[in-house]
C-alpha cells in the first residue's frame, strides 16, 4: 500500500492582531482533519517543519503548541479514543516538508502510526512583516494529512536529498550583536544577488537526476518546483496587504495549485522539488489516488 495525501490545506493571516505560526499551522491542520472527516485523536504523529515563528520561539517545540491548538490527544481520560499523540519539530528550511514526508513513510510502513500530520508555517518574528520590507517571506501556513492507501498505484515514491556545490547564498539568523532589547521581534535574512536563479538551476538538476535514478518519464510528469519569486498575499482587516514568498509551506501550496488546475494531457504523476539554503534540494514523486 502506498502513502497518500488524505487532505491538504494552507492558511494565510487575516485579522488585526500579529501573525502567529502556531495559529496558521493549527488552522491549516484543522481544515485537513475536517476535509478528511477524521478526529484529532486519529493522528498518531505531528511533525512541524516551520522555521520562522513569532518572538523567535524555539522552546518548547512549536509542534507541541500546534498539537494543543489542533486538540490532538490532550487528555487520556476525556478523549473518547485514548491514544498517545507524539509531536516534534524538524527544521531543514525549504526542504523540511519533504524530509517529513520521508519520515512519515517509515512511520506508516512500520505501523508506528496510522496517520501523520505535517505542518509548516512561517511568520515574521515581530508579527507584522509589513513593518520590515527586507523580510522576504509570506505569513503562510500549510498542512498535509498522510495515511496508507489500498490503491497500489497511488502514493509517494522514495524521497531523495541533494547537496549543491559552493557556499550557501541564503541565511536566516538572529544577529546577537545587533539585536538590542527587541531581539525577539527581529530576524536577519541574507540572500545574495541571483539566489533565485541558482536555486532554480539546482532544483532542475536534481529533478533530472531523480528522474534518471528512479526511471521516471518527465514527459508524463507534472513538476512542482520551488516558488522562488512567487508572491503570496495576505490581508489584515482594515490594515492593507502584506505579500511575500512562500517558504516552508511552499510544497503544500504548490501541490494544491497543481491538483486544482486542469491536468495536462498525458501527465500521470507529480514530482515535488524543493531547494533552499545549504544549498540543498529534495525531490519525491507522487501519484494522487485516481490518477
Q: What is the mean pLDDT for each group of 10 consecutive residues in the chain (291 residues)?
A: 93 83 96 95 94 84 94 75 78 94 95 93 86 86 95 92 84 75 76 85 93 95 77 51 82 94 91 91 94 86
Q: E strands, the chain, where?
A: 2-12, 45-48, 86-89, 115-122, 140-149, 155-156, 160-163, 170-173, 188-191, 221-224, 232-236, 240-244, 269-276, 280-287
The reported pLDDT for the residue numbered 239 is 46
Peptide bond preceding 60 in cis form (omega within 30 of 0): yes
The reported pLDDT for the residue numbered 188 is 79
Rounded Cα gap, residues 53 and 57, in angstroms? 6
The reported pLDDT for the residue numbered 228 is 46
Per domain, the residue ranges of the chain are: 2-287
**CATH of region 2-287, choose from 2.60.120.580, 3.30.200.20, 3.30.70.20, 3.40.47.10:** 3.40.47.10
Amino acid at each position: 500500500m502506498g502513502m497518500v495525501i488524505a487532505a491538504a490545506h494552507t492558511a494565510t493571516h487575516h485579522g488585526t492582531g500579529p501573525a502567529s505560526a502556531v495559529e496558521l499551522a493549527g488552522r491549516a491542520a484543522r481544515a485537513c482533519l475536517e476535509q478528511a472527516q477524521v478526529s484529532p485523536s486519529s493522528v498518531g504523529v505531528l511533525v512541524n517543519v516551520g522555521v520562522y515563528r513569532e518572538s523567535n520561539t524555539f522552546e518548547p517545540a512549536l509542534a507541541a503548541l500546534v498539537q494543543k491548538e489542533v486538540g490532538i490527544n490532550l487528555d487520556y481520560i476525556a478523549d473518547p479514543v485514548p491514544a498517545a499523540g507524539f509531536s516534534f519539530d524538524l527544521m531543514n528550511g525549504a526542504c523540511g516538508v519533504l524530509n517529513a514526508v520521508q519520515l512519515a513513510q517509515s512511520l506508516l510502513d512500520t505501523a508506528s502510526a496510522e496517520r501523520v500530520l505535517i505542518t509548516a508555517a512561517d511568520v515574521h518574528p515581530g508579527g507584522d512583516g509589513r513593518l520590515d520590507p527586507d523580510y522576504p517571506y509570506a505569513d503562510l501556513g500549510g498542512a498535509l494529512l498522510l495515511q496508507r492507501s489500498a490503491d497500489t498505484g497511488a502514493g509517494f515514491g522514495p524521497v531523495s536529498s541533494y547537496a549543491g556545490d559552493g557556499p550557501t547564498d541564503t541565511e536566516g539568523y538572529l544577529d546577537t550583536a545587533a539585536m538590542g532589547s527587541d531581539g525577539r521581534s527581529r530576524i536577519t535574512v541574507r540572500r545574495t544577488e541571483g539566489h533565485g536563479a541558482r536555486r532554480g538551476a539546482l532544483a532542475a538538476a536534481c529533478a533530472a537526476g531523480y528522474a534518471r535514478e528512479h526511471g521516471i518519464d518527465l514527459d508524463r510528469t507534472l513538476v512542482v518546483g520551488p516558488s522562488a519569486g512567487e508572491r503570496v498575499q495576505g490581508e489584515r482587516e482594515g490594515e492593507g496587504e502584506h505579500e511575500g514568498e512562500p517558504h516552508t509551506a511552499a510544497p503544500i501550496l504548490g501541490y494544491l495549485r497543481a491538483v486544482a488546475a486542469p491536468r495536462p494531457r498525458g501527465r500521470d504523476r507529480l514530482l515535488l522539488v524543493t531547494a533552499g539554503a545549504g544549498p540543498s534540494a529534495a525531490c519525491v514523486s507522487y501519484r494522487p489516488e485516481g490518477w
